[in-house]
Every structure is written in C-alpha cells, then in structure tokens.
Structure 1
C-alpha cells in the first residue's frame, strides 16, 4: 500500500467517500454504518498459481472486541484503481463471487498498538478470494472491501494517512502453476504459455474443427487425416501426416506448408479460388489443359511440368473512350458490347473492356463467342470506378485460331 488513496472509508455506507481518515473502521462509526476499502499494488506472478495462504495484518488503534457483523469481498478485476471521492466508490465496485465473513469474532480481540491478523471466518477465507482473482487474471493490483452488515461497534486500525508504516498489509504465499494437461481440441496456439510445461499425450485428431495445428509440437497424429477442401485455414503444422483427399480449388487459401506430406490422390483444381500453389511441388495436375484466366492466381511457381494454356490478350484498333461516371445520372448502367468471332470451330473468342488509367481489366466485362460468323455480344451490367477514366477494348483466345473483334463500345442505355 503506497498511497493515501489506497485505503478509504465509505461513511455513511453507500454514500460519501472519505480518503483522509487517520484510522480505518471495520463496522460502525458513531451514528452510521461504514464500508472500507484497501488496495495493494506491485502484485505479480499470481496468474494460474495455487494460493497457499493469504493474511491481512492491521495495526490496532485501541482495544476492540465488541460485536458487529460484516463481509469481505475482492474487487473483480486485474488492475483495480485507487479510491476516489465519487459517491459510493466502494459499493459500486464489481465484487468477486468468493467472500468470507468479517465479524468481530472473526477479527478476534485486538490490543492497542499491536499488529493483529485476519485470515477468514473459520470456513471461508481471504485466500479463496485471492484464488478467484488468480484463476481469472494476472493481477497487478488487489482491492479488498469490508461491508458492515449490523451492530454499532467496530475494530479500528491505523490507515495509510495516519501512519504509512502502519498501513494494512496483505501477505500472499503461492505456488506457480504446474504442468498443463492440454487436449488436442480448442487450442489455437500455445505461443504464450511462457515457460510452462505442456504435457501432451498422443492425440487422435479428426480433420474438422481445427483452425491451426501450429502449436501441437511433438504430438503424434495417430491416424491418416482426411481433410475436406473447405474449413481449413492453414495446414502449416501437419508435418509428415498423410493427406488423403481430393481437394477442389475453392476454399484453400494456401498450400504452402504441406511440406513433405504425401498427397495420395490426383488433385482436381478449378480455375478460380486458388491463391497460391507454391508448395504442391511435383504433384501432377491431371486432365485436359486448364483454362486459367489472368486474375486470381498469385503464383504459378510450383505447377512443375503441368501444361498451362493461357488465354492471350491483345489490343485491337485504336478505339478509346473517356468515361466519367459523375456525368451520368445516379443508377445509370454501363455495358460493354462488341462484335466477335473465331476463325475455327471448337475455339472461343474473347473480348474485354480494359481500364487504361488504372491498368486493369474491368471486372465482369468479359464477353465470348464460339461463332465462326460475326456475333454481337453484350456483357452484364458493369460497375465502373468513379472519376474520369480512359478505356479501350482487348480481344483474345487460346492459340490455334484467329480471333476478331470490332464495333466495340460502352453503352449506357438508361442514361
């Protein structure tokens, strides 16, 4: 206890706060019931500890043994603040569930100018209150509060204001938390357990419901894990476990950390939804050539010997158009339209609206046709960016045919 605001009297109980009394009254101050609060700082190392004992010490101001009743509580918090002059600043604090009685018989007979101690009522103890705080927090400060219940007498002790060397003391003896038995479910990470020993038995872990296995350490996965394509955020720590599954291209954010895991079936990948294939290594991509658009693939480093046939894109003509969306009424819809065709049956011609200003294909602008004669095709309604932008059309398709595109324009039919 290091400050005059670390002990206080609420007198009458539930109303006025008094931070300058030279004594602390447990029970009754002439004419009114009284509540009192005590605060200690510099607390550390209690998180998860077993509280072996907790003892309060008071320096008696007078001889006291007369009858009153009351109850002790702690403030439910990791770092309760000093007492203030705000009305009911003791009563309004959140109390612990743990409590013990603080009657005159529990305090015992006090002798003037003598250190007296208090540990509990014979059934419940101050130790139980401190244990609740240690189980819930890593406390850096502790507040204990005594609430008068009945009677017109009191036990009186020196306060910090009266004599700082004789202010109330709280002595706690504790045993740090021991080895933790942690099951395989529900633990996202054990990075912050510090020097605590994590004693893991062999865990049988199913393929669902595990967000991350980063911290399972040396735990053994005793069965082959079947993992579906959705719901797995990361496989970083599955180590040498065998993954027996067909994984679709959707729902897998990254395969970077499959490491040396054996993928026992051919993987079928769709063209979208794969952010990275960096770590698939020598895996074979079986099937027909993959039609992969230019967007949505962050890296192709590890496709290995697989054949990837990519749509080629090129400009046509010198058509360009300036569009400022603010020049059009609210709700105006924009469409990309062009005449496109392919020279050979079995091939597809494509066209896109390209934002020259921002250097990107306009989302949703792709149109296509397998017609060998000219076909006019219109996109769905587009969402064009605000401000003045310059656009042009691009055409393309897979190799093996000739593609044409003309009469391109951006239409605003409802403007």
Structure 2
C-alpha cells in the first residue's frame, strides 16, 4: 500500500474517531437529561446548515455542515426574568437585549405540560450530572481506548538488544562529520559493539532490563567495565569505558525534564553511545489507571498554561521560532500526525495502529479536561453556575431569607460571547500554525 494512501487512511481513522467522540460526548448530556425528564428538542453533530436530520419522539437527531463540535438543545435552559419586558434605559442595554433574546429562545418551545420539564427547574445536583455527562463520556472513552492499547497492543518497552551505536561523541546541540578527524569514537563504537547485539552482562552482573543497564552505565563513568553480548548466536566479551557526558534529565514519564523557563535540564553521567530496540509488551489491567492519570496530568499541565502556550504558537507561526512539540495543536495537526504515523512503513502495522489508538485516547482526555474549564460556554461554566446557585440557596436558607430561585446564567452571556470568540480565534490560530509550521513530533 502506498505511503500516500496510508497517510489518508490515518487521517480518516482519526477523523472518524473524533466524530464518534463528539457524538458520544453529546450522548453523555442527552441520556441524563432525558432520564431527568427534561425535554430535549435537538441532538446535533456539527454546526451551521443541517445536512440530514430525523425526528424520533420529541427529539430531532441530525448532522450539520461544520463538523467542529455538537450540541444538545434542552428547553428552558435559562429561567424567565420579569425584567425582560421592562423598558428602562441602561448603559448595558445591548447586553440586556442579548439576555432577553436568549431567554426567549430557551422558552419558545415550552408548551402546555412542559412547565416542569425545563432545565432551569432541575435540582442543582441533576444540573451538574447533565453537564458533567459529556466530559465523563470522553473520560470513559479515553480509559477504554487506553485499556485496548495497553492490554491488547502493549506498551513500547526498551529491550536489552542494541538498536544503534553512535560513532562520534557529540556535545548537546552540535554535529560532527563521522568521517572527519574531529570524530572521537564513543565508548560503544571503540569497544566494537554493534546493532542487534543483546547485552547479557555488565561489570559481572546479569542484565535483565534496559533501565537497569542504563543506571549502571551512568554510574560507571571513567571505569573500564567488562561487558558481554550475544551476537548471531555467539558470546562476545569486551571492555567499555563510559565517558562523563552531559545528558538530559529524564522524568518518571520518560520525557526530558524542563526547568521553570522551559529549558531542558542536564546532568553529568556515564555515557556509552547506544540505543535500545523496543518491543510491544502487553500490560496488566492494573497499569491502565496509573497511565491514564499520567496522561491526564500532562494534558492538564498543557491546558493550565494554555494562554502562554498559545502565545508561543503565535510567535512560532509568524517567525522563525520552532514549534513546541508538547504544545497545543488543532484537529488539523492531529490529522497530520495520524497520517504520518500511518505512513511510517518502517514501523510494524501493529505499532502504528496502537499509536493511533493512543492518539484518540489522549484526544478524549483533552476534550474532557478542556470542557471542565469553569467558563461559559464550556460544560465547566454551566457546572460553576449550578454550584453558585446551590451555594446561594444554602446561604439564603441559613439566613432565613426567601429562596432566590434558579441562578440566571443568561446574565453571563456577554462574557460567554467573549470566551466563545477567544476560543474561535485560538482554534483559527492553531489551524493556521498547523498548516504553515506543523509540529515536528518525529524529529
């Protein structure tokens, strides 16, 4: 199969995965809303003109032209306001009009018998369940995909077999011509180690894992150390002398660590100049939740620092600065990465499919966490509004005051439109950056 066709298949695979994830996110809102007897008028995937729809019961299900999200329409999202009919001059008259129109739209489909089926009359805990249903669904999808990846395909694990041997000792950020006089052989090259050698013994100790071997090498700088390898069915013994070298500090997640300014951390350790071959090793079910927690932690860090990272993307897009490979990308960037993964013919198909599944798992975790940001129009904004309503009612009850009723979240619409505009601008910027300066994940 040609690389171009593989690239297209990778993009299509992720595109379908994203569409299904969005659809199930909205199901996460739809199901609890119906269980709580709220009348749901529409369940739509996408925005803009309707391409296809079908009404079943009291709900219209369909697809729209722009597959950039989805929504569920519930009647009575905002409580009615007796001031909407009043005419009074105000410096915020435009905002008052926006709130009035929003309330009107929220109640235009409320008919006889629907008085107790409006969203705003739900108890606070039911509102929270409805709004958390979408992110919870994405979390569940992410966990399922991660379980399939770890338990079915396995995790790429370094073996004790050598994948490559660096010829020259090179300082960080420098390059050396391997055929020039400036090329000082690495300890591994000087000792005659070769790709596909399997290291069985180091300094008289049996080697059982790559991580174990790495720790011994790092602690052996400047010492002559005997090493034994299996090569083509034969045992080969030689001696290596690890040199002291500045190497990146690697965290528990396997990624290079950075300081507060985003600069890579380095440490002086023993170095041989070898890389390990890896193989997919199926993991037990107990590994799924810890791995999910690590993914969520990393994604949360990106989202927490999103404003600064978006600024970095903007600088890179309009200058010669490189993109941060760990920074945010758009759906276009995700599709491109998926296509590149699928087209990597030198990588076994099983590993490529596993990578694509992992990509979808991470995307679902990102959708869940992003939607939990406590700003409207995101789900987290509605949850924050419900929590405020509950707190306000509890305080009123403790003070012996009348129940203030449902919180009128329509009053926050001006801020909602600002946030929506910023999200659209951010999305447009990321798409532009992913076109003109895509993230280089694979080096």
TM range (shorter): under 0.3
TM-score normalised over the length of structure 2? 0.19
Which is richer in strand?
A: 1
TM-score normalised over the length of structure 1? 0.20
